[in-house]
Structure 1
Amino acid sequence: MKLITSIVWLLFFSLTQVFSQARLPNKLLWEQIKNSNLVNVKNKKTLIETKKNTAFVFLSPECPLCKNYTPVLNALAKQYPEVKIIGIVPGKSYTIDEINLFAKSYDALFDIYLDKNKSLTNTLKAKVTPEVILVDQKGNIRYRGLIDNWQAKLGVKRKVITEHYLDDAIKDINISNYKFTQTIPVGCLINDL
């Protein structure tokens, strides 16, 4: 009986966490994003433009998945110019020069910022790279998780991509009666540095 009670509480707690992440007060979420302490690739503190549909993609310049997904993100940036795609490199592990080299080597068509103190990373509760969090212009988290289902699990890739999660979420970004969706991201854990 204790085991069943524990499972029920764990399930309740997990669902509460998912819904609370999806339903932060709109204004509060954009204020937290705006107040994040980010540095652009020119090593200048910058503020994220708020109140615009934005896909935050957490990246690591060393992560093979991040490198492989850059062309996909570039294609989405071209296809949906009304949605801002922003790369976020969390922590102190990488320098501005390393981030610039990554952006140049993979011809990133989207802005990439260093989140040295992980303020935005913590606000959006990102856990791995690559992980995407799509926020609409009203401050609603519309989607969280994988870019697509190419990476079945760590080290296992599909030959054919059958689900385009981020693309689908961006297509539906202006639907007023949206449903928050989430997948479990696969990638390199964001470290504590």
Structure 2
Amino acid sequence: MTVDPNAATQNFPSPERAPAHRRPHPARYLVPALAAGCVAVALGVYGRVHDPAGTAFNLAGFSSTGAVKSWLATTAVFFALVQLVSALVMYGRLPGPGWAPALHRWSGRVAFLVAVPVAVHCLYALGYQTYETRVLWHSVLGCFFFGVFSAKMLLLRSERLPGWLLPIVGGLVFVVLTVVWLTSAFWFFDTFGVTT
């Protein structure tokens, strides 16, 4: 009778031979969720306790700070739409070019960079306000947007995520940004006209 020297290890796989499709530990989701909550709450608290300055910036060629913010926010939403379409191409829902992933990454970076000065102005110049329903939703969702965006960025660095998670979080980022735009830039253009 011959003894197979590998027989003892066949029933107990070594770490190198362990299945690659293990489910990630729930803490992998907890850290991005906690980061999202911390970012959103920190922005809200700062906006609430900070004494609003009234204005933070203005750009030459624009009639008002509201116009600057509205056009920057509209630019961010445009690039978020590019992100949505490029994500649909990446997930095979739409036909598209092979450079869709690069377009997705760069459009996301541009959308974020354009949204940051708007958020800085809102928090520094206006603060977290609740005097009417539209403004309350804008304040809440503006803080929530940067929280969810932070969670998405952390999840992008994670491995072995379920295939549905990033599209859900990315979709949430897009929806929240759209509602933030509707309660600010769209309202501004509807009230004061499409001006620069």
Pair in the same fold by TM > 0.5: no
- How does the TM-score come out when normalised to structure 2? 0.26
- How does the TM-score come out when normalised to structure 1? 0.26
Which one has the largest radius of gyration?
2
Higher RCO (CA-CA < 8 Å; seq separation 6+): 2
**Which protein has the bigger strand share?**
1
